[in-house]
Amino acid sequence: MNPRLVTFSAQVVMLLVVCASLLAHHGNAAYDEEHPITIKGKVTEFVWSNPHCQIYLDVKDQKENVVSWSVESQSPGILRRNGWTRDSIKPADHIAVTLVPAKSGAPVGFSGEKTGKIVFDDGHVLKMDLR
Amino acid sequence: MGSVVLAFAFAISARAGGQEKAAKESAAPAPKRDSSGVWLYQGSGGQESTAPEKDMPPMTAWAKARFDTERPGYGTRAVPDGNDAILQCDPAGFPRIMFFPTPFEFVQGSDRIIQFFEREHAWRPIWTDGRSLPKDPDPTWYGYAIGHWEGDYTLVVESSGFNDKTWLGATGYPHSEEMRVTERYQRVDRNTILYNIRVDDPKAYTKPVIGPERIMKLRPGVEIGELPCVWSEENSFTKRIREPAVGKPNR
């Protein structure tokens, strides 16, 4: 199955956030930083490690197929200054992750800096501001 | 509609209040000959380089040969599966360490100022006891640094003794062992440093590399965290995220 995001609709909410100007001036070549999206899914693993924390979650596409996403985030130091701990995200949590997706079309993304955030089902939010 | 207007007015008012508070705090005078504290430069948000690519001076043939082998992950030559040595957990070295979006701390002693970087959990002493730079130092990742105060508010740091294994920043660009770096940390008020950097490296560039003036802000209450590049964790990350992101199969 081609996991490209254009095939996602109901469970994968595409938010074409109008913030390209904030992002275009730097960037990791692997990610499409001009087109952030938000995916919703169930956490399978949260890795609290240096230099990159990682979030893994299962996301259903419009055909109810489960796609396993891998998400790169910031370092523990930056996340800690935003109120995170190693237990902030747990397996089975339902979360919405705003990220910039891999240009390759693989279900991989980066959630951090200015656009990245995590929203839980109960409404609480984790951010990744540089501070 | 009325409530929207009211909310907007409140937001503007709150913002103005915040700016006023920030301006008041900024107006507090800087302590004399004191750089102590945790500082964070106000960059673009991601990794940067000593100078923007458009401002880089012409390279020598020696540097151009190295430049041509570089495949950075950022900038105009960015490729998603490059050969940036920090992906192998090699030290970023100096001055590249300055341009990560993570804070550093100055701790002042009687004969040196120590600069602790969150990134890599690295540090360098800046000797302020009047000594000179060593004439023939063994090359190192972070070099050898001496500093002095110019007036009461500007710390001038000169450094040399670098190896040539690091880039000037995330966009690549080599330097040689002959590199000498001059930095000026001008504390213009309690919360603000204006940071200027100049790289002289005639083996690599026909003119000095001059960085743009950058703003650093004091971060009261922030403690420097631990951000080493842990090879086992970086390697796992490469297999699980970095390589799949560029279309290589998950290993």
**Mean pLDDT within B99-114:** 96
Q: What pLDDT was estimated at residue B1? A: 40
Whose CA is closest to B181, among B210, B151, B213, B150? B210
Q: What pLDDT was estimated at residue B20? A: 55
Token pair 């692997």 is found at A30
What's the CA gap between A51 and B132, in Å, rounded? 36
With a pLDDT cut of 90, the percent of chain B lying above it is: 75
Q: Reduced to 3 states, what is the DSSP secondary structure of residue B105?
A: strand
Ranking A35-44, B16-25, B134-143, B223-232 by mean pLDDT, the lowest is B16-25
Task: Select from A50, A51, A106 the Cβ nearest to the Cβ of B247.
Answer: A106
What's the CA gap between B124 and B147, in Å, rounded? 12
Whose CA is closest to B104, among B89, B120, B84? B120
Hey, are the CB atoms on A49 and B245 less than 8 Å from each other? no
Hey, are the CB atoms on A108 and B74 less than 8 Å from each other? no
Task: Locate A1 and state its tokens.
Answer: 């199955």
**Mean pLDDT within B146-156:** 98
Domain range summary for chain B, segments of one domain joined by +: 30-245
Interface residues on A facing B, Cβ-Cβ cutoff 8 A: 22, 25-31, 47, 49-52, 54, 70-72, 75-78, 80-81, 102-106, 108, 113-114, 130-131
Please report, in angstroms and rounded to a whole number, the separation of the first and last CA atoms in chain A: 40
Say if B85 is an interface residue toward chain A (CB within 8 Å).
no
Task: Select from B82, B230, B245 the Cβ nearest to the Cβ of A104.
Answer: B245
- Banded model confidence at residue B22, pLDDT cuts 50, 70, 90: low
H helix or E strand, kind and range, residue B115: strand B112-117
Hey, are the CB atoms on B227 and A77 less than 8 Å from each other? yes
Which residue in B44, B83, B120, B171 has the most chain A C-beta atoms within 10 A of its own C-beta, making it the best mutation to test that interface?
A: B44
Judged by CB atoms within 8 Å, which residues 209-228 of B form the interface with A? Answer: 219, 222, 224-228
Query: Which residues in chain B are contacts of A25 at CB distance < 8 A?
Result: 44
Closest alpha carbon within chain B to A81 = B222
- Banded model confidence at residue B247, pLDDT cuts 50, 70, 90: confident
With a pLDDT cut of 70, the percent of chain A lying above it is: 79
Hey, are the CB atoms on A28 and B48 less than 8 Å from each other? no
Strands B144-150 and B122-127: parallel
Query: Which residues in chain A are contacts of B101 at CB distance < 8 A?
Result: 78, 113, 130
What's the CA gap between A75 and A61, in Å, rounded? 29
Hey, are the CB atoms on A49 and B233 less than 8 Å from each other? yes
Tell me: pLDDT of A53 over 70: yes
Whose CA is closest to B234, among B120, B65, B124, B95? B120
Say if CB B113 and CB B159 are below 8 A apart.
no
Q: How far is CA B217 from the centre of its chain?
A: 13
Class of domain A5-127: mainly beta
Tell me: pLDDT of B177 over 90: yes
Hey, are the CB atoms on A26 and B46 less than 8 Å from each other? yes
Task: Select from A47, A52, A104 the Cβ nearest to the Cβ of B247.
Answer: A104
Average pLDDT score, chain A:
82
Please report, in angstroms and rounded to a whole number, the separation of the first and last CA atoms in chain B: 55
Q: Which residues contact B11 (CB under 8 A, 6 or more apart)?
A: none
**Mean pLDDT within B223-246:** 90
- Banded model confidence at residue B4, pLDDT cuts 50, 70, 90: very low
B100 backbone dihedrals φ, ψ, rounded to 5°: -100, 155
Task: Locate A16 and state its tokens.
Answer: 């074409």
Task: Select from A29, A47, A130 the Cβ nearest to the Cβ of B73.
Answer: A29
Q: Strand pairing partners for B140? A: B162
Whose CA is closest to A12, among A65, A90, A55, A48? A65
Task: Select from A50, A102, A104 the Cβ nearest to the Cβ of B229.
Answer: A50
B88 backbone dihedrals φ, ψ, rounded to 5°: -100, 10
Query: Which residues in chain A are contacts of B229 at CB distance < 8 A?
Result: 50-51
Assembly ipTM: 0.78
Closest alpha carbon within chain A to B118 = A77
Say if CB B37 and CB B218 are below 8 A apart.
yes
Query: Which residues in chain B are contacts of A70 at CB distance < 8 A?
Result: 240-241, 244-245, 250
Hey, are the CB atoms on B228 and A108 less than 8 Å from each other? no
Domain range summary for chain A, segments of one domain joined by +: 5-127
